[in-house]
Amino acid sequence: MKNQGLLWYRIASLLMAVCFGAVGLIFFLLPEGTLEFFNRLSSPLGLPPSPVHPGSFFPILALAYMYLVTLLAGWMFKKPGNPLFPELLAQAKFASSILSLIFFFGRSPYLICLANAVIDGGIGALALGLLFLQKRRAASWPT
């Protein structure tokens, strides 16, 4: 049971890498479909639909960001003793969450902004939790 923390850390890292990669591909291949999905959920919640612009810059930026967080989670899996990777992932996810809240309350009360704030805030908290786990147990983990 000594390495149970390492196993949990690596499983969580691998799952995040796979999910981030899949979401990045969805954002890239179906940018309008992603926004339309959230727009269908917005009306019953009393929120305005977000604009859908075919050919927008959204898929490029979304794919680049998802590539980066996928890479960080993959490095967490491969090198679980390195504290830099979960720290950077937590910072990226918290930044995304905070910016989404600023946009939601400041000028764009779209469901996709609120959903991203909640999801990325949760992932940032998970990455921070994994960082704390890693710091407690890292002496026996491979770098």
Task: Indicate the DSSP class of residue 139.
Answer: G
pLDDT at 83 over 60: yes
**Cα–Cα distance list, 35 to 10, 72, 121, 138, 140 (Å):** 32, 26, 20, 41, 44
For 95-118, write each residue's pLDDT tens digit: 999 999 999 999 989 999 999 999
pLDDT at 1 over 60: no
| Residues of the domain holding 100 | 4-46+56-140
In a domain, 51, yes or no: no
pLDDT at 78 over 80: yes
In a domain, 18, yes or no: yes
- Number of separate domains in the chain: 1
In a domain, 92, yes or no: yes
pLDDT at 140 over 80: no
> Could you tell me the pTM of the whole model?
0.91
**Cα–Cα distance list, 26 to 33, 65, 69 (Å):** 9, 13, 15
Instruction: Count CA atoms closer than 13 A to 80's CA, side-chain side.
Output: 24
Q: Which residues contact 11 (CB under 8 A, 6 or more apart)?
A: none
For 2-42, write each residue's pLDDT tens digit: 688 899 999 999 999 999 999 999 999 999 999 999 999 99
Is residue 70 classed as helix, strand or coil in its secondary structure? helix
